[in-house]
Structure 1
Amino acid sequence: MSGQLLRRLRTAAAAAVLSAATVLPIAMAAPAAHAATKVDNPYVGAGVYVNPEWAAHAAAEPGGSAVSNQPTAVWLDRIAAISGSSSSMGLRAHLNAAVTQAAGKPFVVQLVIYDLPGRDCAALASNGELGPTELPRYKSEFIDPIATILADPAYANLRIVTTIEIDSLPNLVTNAGGTATATAACDTMKANGNYVNGVGYALAKLGAIPNVYNYIDGGHHGWLGWDSNFDPAVQLLHQAATASGSTVANVHGFIVNTANYSALKEPYFTVDDVVAGQPVRATSKWVDWNRYADELGYAQAFRQKAIAAGFDSGVGVLIDTSRNGWGGANRPTGPGPTTSGDAYVNGGRIDRRLQAGNWCNQSGAGLGERPTAAPAAGIDAYVWVKPPGESDGASSQIANDEGKGFDRMCDPTYTGNARNGNNMSGALPNAPLAGHWFSAQFQELLKNAYPPVSGGGGGTSDTTAPTAPTALKSTATTASSVSLSWTASTDNVGVTGYDVYRGTTLVGSATATSYTDSGLTASTAYSYTVKARDAAGNVSAASNSVSATTASSGGGTGNAGCTATYKVSSDWGAGFNADVTVTNTGTAATTSWKVTWTWAGSQQITNLWNGSYTQSGKAVTVTNASYNGAIAVGGSTAFGFGASNSGTNTAPTLTCTAS
């Protein structure tokens, strides 16, 4: 299967109301603001709604009570879900239950808004009730009633987080308009504009409510992580955010990996690791030229690209970690063999799917990180938007009145298609309709949870916290960053990572014993501590505190200097992608850099990431982005671009200057 094809992957009862709210762990510097006043991160300092219907299902499973108190999202996936029925709670019932759980404290309730006309045009399992042309019904019978309920003053103190129409806009990028995996249904939705206009209408209508926080779908790294998909996806999201009377102000952030299985972090390989003299990005079929290996790196890069495209600089990202833990006996403990790129990546990757395009009821999957507020830079929260144990789709045809079809990707005997590289589907057998309770899947997720679930049927029940990290120190500073290192903690079941705090604010996480905090203010003193986490979810006491002062904006008394190296990463004749690495060769940290060159042929840049460019004829100038101008002495950063070409693709000579 060619890289050109694979880079266009598509992955796509009631119980008594619980009285105790689940509060996401976060260090708080001050009391949270009233919910009616918009806050930067709605999850910080807030409880989050535990859906009593999901909690009852989970608690009824063996070992399920260990996680039944976790917050999950409420899915509004058809018009009837708004009012509910005698056997299921409607929107008002959930909001009333959330008010009770909140008990007057800051509180988040999570909703999935999911009923676009011609919904999920590249999959059958999640097809919806509205036809491709029924945008008026979507507005008047679905979005308008939801908005009316959410605007009720009875719910004004809730922080209402809405996930807007997953799988819609990403499908228009990869599965419409002449792509190798296009479908007729996606071509229709791209042509009639109802996805873009429907999302814009939902954003405008719901965004007008003061305590609603809209997050729009950014796919996941195994869907949009290729250069040919990444920029177009961000541009399409911006188009939708400014359609039907909406503005980017109605977008509080993005969500990635919704209802999917992509690993949060791949600790044992990166796409730039070199095996047998070549980067695995070029030689591993799993990576296949993707620029990202996991969701955290993808999410942070997506956020930066969105800001550069015109979204607000304060946007955050949610990552759905409900089913991406990949623990259990098959979880790798180190890198794979270095005999080939495939062996290295396949032997060390946490994500154990047969192919990153597989999305339906995946065998071997486990619960991922528990819902947590502000776990890393730019990330508003890890969330469980897809309730674990709710099916992705039926394994065989099941008659229903919910508009849900049979998708062969949910059939464990299916041998695949172009979107998943013609691999087996990897789906569990005997699955019910999408959204219905699937006991066997829940048990699989519980058994393979990572971090393990105490008492969850296969996880460790260890309750001993790791020792605190020691010898925390500052190893380097620039005008905008502080680099830290520390001595590793010891633990009974193994340390899985470290959380870094600036004062009382969690600013990032690391799997190694070092971290660089960036985006800081010059000539400013900062104080840091670090805590360790283990495989059972225990957290250590804080390390010693260390203070560090960033350099002046002038970069000190040294001289700034840089070099730039150029490498073509892929070339298909009419066009190519290239990467440029900028290295600080001076004696002081840089605050900005510029790379220039003159093409020998007719090359023309079409898109560029991690920088800004101008091209006049054959002359090209690239300057740093707002976030990568500061390079420590001896350090490097990189930018990349796509270009068209109608002649000889001779590598240019690059000139780099820095200040």
Structure 2
Amino acid sequence: MTMPGRGRVSARVRPVLATAVSVLVVGVLASAGPAKAADPPHRVDNPYVGAQVYVNPEWADRAAAEPGGDAVAGQPTAVWLDRIARIEGTDGVMGLREHLDAAVAQRADLIQLTLYDLPARDCGRRAPPGELTIEDIARYQTEFIEPIVEILADPHYADLRIVALVEPNSLPNLVVNTGSRYTATPACDEVQARGTYLDGIGYALARLGTVPNVYAYLDISHHAEVGWPEDSGPLTALLYQAATTAGSTVANVHGFVANTANYSVLHEEYFRADDVVNGQPVYQSRWVDWNPFIDEVPYARHLRELLTGAGFSPEVGVIVDTSRNGWGGPARPTGPATTGDVNRYVDGSRIDRRAKVGNWCNQVGSGLGQRPTAEPEPGIDAYVWVKPPGESDGASGSPNTGGPYEPLCDPNYVPPRGSSYDTGAMPDAPPFGEWFPAHFRQLLANAWPPV
């Protein structure tokens, strides 16, 4: 699909199925002749404007095989590079070069890549488990970043705009899960003390910055993790530090991405953060919990303002992942609740139907969000589908199965003290990244706007 917006619109692209990619690529390569140095591509302010964005044929095939899935199978989604083996591809799964060749065959202008393999990723959380230990920063640099950059620098891909989404949820972890926070973990404290994430991200940005057609976007998490005033300042400082570490400069950061693989709505339509109900401010409700932000776009704009004030370019853009934040279906409210109780008012008015705003794993009731589009509203470069809809956030098994266990993916989770906690997670989910048909079908049924 073409992302609407200003600028040129490339040739219409016929769908490319996985079975046809190799034939098309052979034809393209055979006619291309020997590789030669290409002129540096023209940099643009917003890479999504006028761009035909790559449709991953592997995801498209899975989506089209589900009932009604062909209605969205042509949407562009990001390609996740979440371990070293993903670069070359394994077990019949396309590698990075195959995706780039397929993008050329599609006559795409832009491809989206998510780099997600830092040492001690997610502070060592077992689900999804990372492959690199805290000692493996050299492996991250030489076996992960360097091969990626070498492939991206191939002159055959010089006409592609390559959007690289760098290490989701890494730096925000160092804000909310370290120090004296009650959520702090020894693993996060150690990662922070060693500078592992700063060194890894700085190195990645510096190397990606050597490829003229790469546009790097740093992850800024979402409003329900780092929206509080005590969080936004430290996150801003960490982002700037990462962008100026290991040989990088802020010039290597083209923008920021919010809500990656999350479920936060773009705009809450039926209540505001400054509403007052029967004399009680909405921010004192259980759901809002003193957060000045209740939705993603205001949060993203606020972070962008802080980041440009800290030294990032005034031209940096922001994109928002809308792959699963639609929250349509019969539970979607149609107006504000009428009640004098602030908690009932918020719970009855909010579009985001999660049991708790911090829940993130295979959420019950979630739906596809806005379709990918360029310049959807002021201050936003694009709505994008970073997380491919239908790919699991993590396995829903119990802690007794012996495999990697993530409490927030367990629909029957009971905290250590025995108090109740509703994770909102769907049952029978497969491990991270595997196809989860029930979730995809739910996302399709609850899409907003409807499919």
TM-score by length of 1: 0.62
1:433 to 431, 434, 440: 431
Residue number in structure 2 paired with 1:6: none
Distance 1:406 1:200, change over 3 A: same
Residue number in structure 2 paired with 1:85: 90
2:181 counterpart letter in structure 1: T
Quote the offset at 1:85 in angstroms: 2.1
Mapped contact 2:205–2:216 kept (Cα < 8 A): yes
Residue number in structure 2 paired with 1:408: 407
1:127 counterpart letter in structure 2: P
Mapped contact 1:416–1:422 kept (Cα < 8 A): yes
Distance 1:370 1:416, change over 3 A: farther
Equivalent positions of 1:520-599 (< 5 A) are none
Aligned counterparts of 1:37 and 1:63: Cα–Cα separation in 2: 39
Mapped contact 1:139–1:198 kept (Cα < 8 A): yes
Residue number in structure 2 paired with 1:232: 234
Mapped contact 2:83–2:131 kept (Cα < 8 A): yes
Distance 1:417 1:221, change over 3 A: farther
Aligned counterparts of 1:30 and 1:155: Cα–Cα separation in 2: 19
Distance 1:332 1:415, change over 3 A: farther
Residue number in structure 2 paired with 1:115: 117
2:406 counterpart letter in structure 1: D
Aligned counterparts of 2:111 and 2:301: Cα–Cα separation in 1: 24
Distance 1:269 1:35, change over 3 A: farther
Quote the offset at 1:29 in angstroms: 5.2
Aligned counterparts of 1:369 and 1:115: Cα–Cα separation in 2: 28
1:146 counterpart letter in structure 2: I
Equivalent positions of 1:226-625 (< 5 A) are 226-282=228-284, 284-396=285-397, 405-415=404-414, 423-453=421-451
Poorly superposed stretches of 4+, deviation over 2 Å: 28-32, 397-400, 415-418
SS of the residue 2:122 aligns to = coil
Residue number in structure 1 paired with 2:35: none
Quote the offset at 1:128 in angstroms: 0.5
Residue number in structure 2 paired with 1:72: 77
Q: Who wins on radius of gyration, i.e. which is larger?
A: 1
Aligned counterparts of 1:158 and 1:393: Cα–Cα separation in 2: 32
Mapped contact 2:264–2:296 kept (Cα < 8 A): yes
More strand by share: 1
Query: Residues 253-286 of structure 1, C-alpha deviation per residue, up to 9 Å, x if partnerless?
Result: 000100000111100111101111132112x110
Quote the offset at 1:417 in angstroms: 7.9
SS of the residue 1:121 aligns to = helix
Query: Identity of paired residues, percent?
Result: 58
SS of the residue 2:121 aligns to = coil
Residue number in structure 2 paired with 1:218: 220
1:350 counterpart letter in structure 2: I
Aligned length: 421
Distance 1:128 1:399, change over 3 A: farther
Residue number in structure 2 paired with 1:40: 45
Mapped contact 2:2–2:9 kept (Cα < 8 A): no
Distance 1:334 1:46, change over 3 A: same
Mapped contact 2:220–2:258 kept (Cα < 8 A): yes
Aligned counterparts of 2:229 and 2:113: Cα–Cα separation in 1: 31
Distance 1:102 1:29, change over 3 A: closer
Mapped contact 1:122–1:175 kept (Cα < 8 A): no
SS of the residue 2:63 aligns to = helix
Mapped contact 1:35–1:158 kept (Cα < 8 A): no
Mapped contact 2:149–2:207 kept (Cα < 8 A): yes
Residue number in structure 1 paired with 2:4: 25
Mapped contact 1:126–1:434 kept (Cα < 8 A): yes
Mapped contact 1:164–1:216 kept (Cα < 8 A): yes
Give the CA RMSD over aligned residues.
Answer: 1.9
Mapped contact 1:287–1:293 kept (Cα < 8 A): yes
Give unmatched runs, 5+ long, in structure 2.
Answer: 11-38
Aligned counterparts of 1:251 and 1:268: Cα–Cα separation in 2: 35
Mapped contact 1:114–1:164 kept (Cα < 8 A): yes
Aligned counterparts of 2:124 and 2:393: Cα–Cα separation in 1: 14
Aligned counterparts of 1:305 and 1:123: Cα–Cα separation in 2: 29
1:430 counterpart letter in structure 2: D
Mapped contact 1:219–1:256 kept (Cα < 8 A): yes
Equivalent positions of 1:88-99 (< 5 A) are 88-99=93-104
1:195 counterpart letter in structure 2: Y
Equivalent positions of 1:134-149 (< 5 A) are 134-149=136-151
Aligned counterparts of 2:268 and 2:146: Cα–Cα separation in 1: 42
Quote the offset at 1:86 in angstroms: 4.1
1:431 counterpart letter in structure 2: A
Aligned counterparts of 1:319 and 1:130: Cα–Cα separation in 2: 28
Aligned counterparts of 1:397 and 1:274: Cα–Cα separation in 2: 41
Distance 1:232 1:270, change over 3 A: same
Quote the offset at 1:423 in angstroms: 2.7
Residue number in structure 2 paired with 1:176: 178
Mapped contact 1:416–1:425 kept (Cα < 8 A): no
Mapped contact 1:416–1:424 kept (Cα < 8 A): no
1:100 aligns with 2:101: no
1:131 counterpart letter in structure 2: T
Quote the offset at 1:188 in angstroms: 1.2
SS of the residue 1:390 aligns to = coil
Distance 1:35 1:383, change over 3 A: farther
SS of the residue 2:421 aligns to = coil
Equivalent positions of 1:121-140 (< 5 A) are 121=123, 123-140=125-142
Quote the offset at 1:25 in angstroms: 2.0
Aligned counterparts of 1:256 and 1:417: Cα–Cα separation in 2: 32
Q: For structure 1, which segment, 390-399 or 140-149, has the greater mean C-alpha deviation from structure 2 after superposition?
A: 390-399
Quote the offset at 1:365 in angstroms: 0.2
Query: Residues 7-57 of structure 1, C-alpha deviation per residue, up to 9 Å, x if partnerless?
Result: xxxxxxxxxxxxxxx11122x35679x981110000000100000000000
TM-score by length of 2: 0.90
Mapped contact 1:253–1:316 kept (Cα < 8 A): yes
SS of the residue 1:214 aligns to = strand
SS of the residue 2:201 aligns to = helix
Q: Relative contact order (C-alpha < 8 Å, sep 6+): which is higher?
A: 2
Residue number in structure 1 paired with 2:56: 51
Mapped contact 2:370–2:383 kept (Cα < 8 A): yes
Mapped contact 2:9–2:51 kept (Cα < 8 A): no
Aligned counterparts of 2:263 and 2:8: Cα–Cα separation in 1: 35
Mapped contact 2:69–2:444 kept (Cα < 8 A): yes
Distance 1:422 1:138, change over 3 A: farther
1:80 counterpart letter in structure 2: A
Distance 1:122 1:330, change over 3 A: farther
2:336 counterpart letter in structure 1: P
Quote the offset at 1:145 in angstroms: 0.4
Aligned counterparts of 2:387 and 2:249: Cα–Cα separation in 1: 27
1:87 counterpart letter in structure 2: G
Aligned counterparts of 1:127 and 1:176: Cα–Cα separation in 2: 20
SS of the residue 1:111 aligns to = strand
Quote the offset at 1:376 in angstroms: 1.3
Distance 1:30 1:46, change over 3 A: closer
Give unmatched runs, 5+ long, in structure 1.
Answer: 1-21, 454-659
Aligned counterparts of 1:255 and 1:217: Cα–Cα separation in 2: 5
Residue number in structure 1 paired with 2:207: 205
Quote the offset at 1:194 in angstroms: 0.5
Mapped contact 1:398–1:433 kept (Cα < 8 A): no
